[in-house]
Amino acid sequence: MLAPMQGLTNRAMRSVQHQIGHPDVLFTEFLRVKQSTHHRISRNDRRESAAQISDTPLVVQLIGHTALSLAEAAQMVQDQGVQHININMGCPFGRTTSGKTGGAMLSVPELLPECLRAVREMVDGSLSVKIRAGYDNPEQIFELLPMFEDEGVDFLILHPRTVVQKYEGSADHNITRRVVAATSMPIIANGDVVTAKQGMALLADSGAAGLMIGRGAIADPLIFERLRGRAPARVDASRQKQEACDYLKYVLVAYQELFCGDQQVLGKLKGVVACFSEPSLQRWVKRLRRCRSLEGFVAELE
């Protein structure tokens, strides 16, 4: 699965990922659920949720904090033809709407059953939850598993850090393995997978039903094909740079169709390049990030 990454997995990026790596499942960025009864989801977010690519399943992620607003938002996107809804209980970065949303929902676990029940009753297709291991206690997930099962959640995507950790330290996939053993729900492993080798090792060790990949896919969309054995697991430095150049040219074209003006496109491209962690590319990455114009960025690609 391609992870939902705010500011990155817009419909243009999802299209490029589909063309190159063919992830089995695509996720939208989170859609903010507003308290206004007439405008639960913004017009642009509704366009994002309607941007289906071929027959690849698109999961629409909602971030909100009340049962009524989440259920009505789920109904709104379902009316557009959306078949798969995900609730964000993992975002660690403060409030994205009024009230406790994302990972902050785990600080008020008593409110979760009502929210999930309301959405489950509204949604005809799949309902999943993307979650951290806990708010400040990595063992909290084990207390929540029976509730998720009782409320009809179809699968969980687990990032085994706490909310207060944000992205510090390492994802503790020993927790992933223990959660897989503790529930009959399919568990999708998420966190710190940037190579196919890491992904295969995590699947083998944890018994997870699948992987969700974020930064690793933004840096290398071929990671999905590498996991399937249809692309080399590793390539030399020259090939890495050529693949990255080809990929960025695809992204450039897609971003020019979606965003307005060279500076906005350049800023978005630099956001993609910021995910490149391969050591052999870092001098080149620095040059790309220092480009002051889109023309200069394109010249660097050439």
pLDDT in tens, 23-62: 999 999 999 998 766 678 888 877 888 778 888 999 999 9
Last residue in a domain, options 200, 228, 256: 228
pTM: 0.94
Same structural domain, 214 and 279: no
Residue 2 lies in a domain: no
Query: Quick check: is 47 in a domain?
Result: yes
Q: How many domains does the chain fold into? A: 2
Q: Are residues 192 and 70 in the same domain?
A: yes
47 and 194 share a domain? Answer: yes
Give the domain extent around 41.
11-228
Cα 170–272–15 angle (5° rounding)? 110
Q: Where are the alpha helices (H) located in 151-281, listed in sequence order?
A: 173-182, 196-206, 215-219, 223-228, 237-258, 262-273
Residue at which a domain ends, from 177, 200, 228:
228
Question: Do 169 and 262 belong together in one domain?
Answer: no
Is the Cβ–Cβ distance between 118 and 149 less than 8 Å?
Answer: no
pLDDT by residue (tens digit) across 162-218? 999 999 999 999 999 999 999 999 999 999 999 999 999 999 999 999 999 999 999
The phi, psi pair for 184, rounded to 5°, reads: -90, -10
- Whether residue 241 is contained in a domain is answered as yes
- What positions carry a catalytic annotation? 91
Q: Let me know: does 88 contact 63? Beta carbons within 8 Å.
A: yes
Same domain, 180 and 244: no
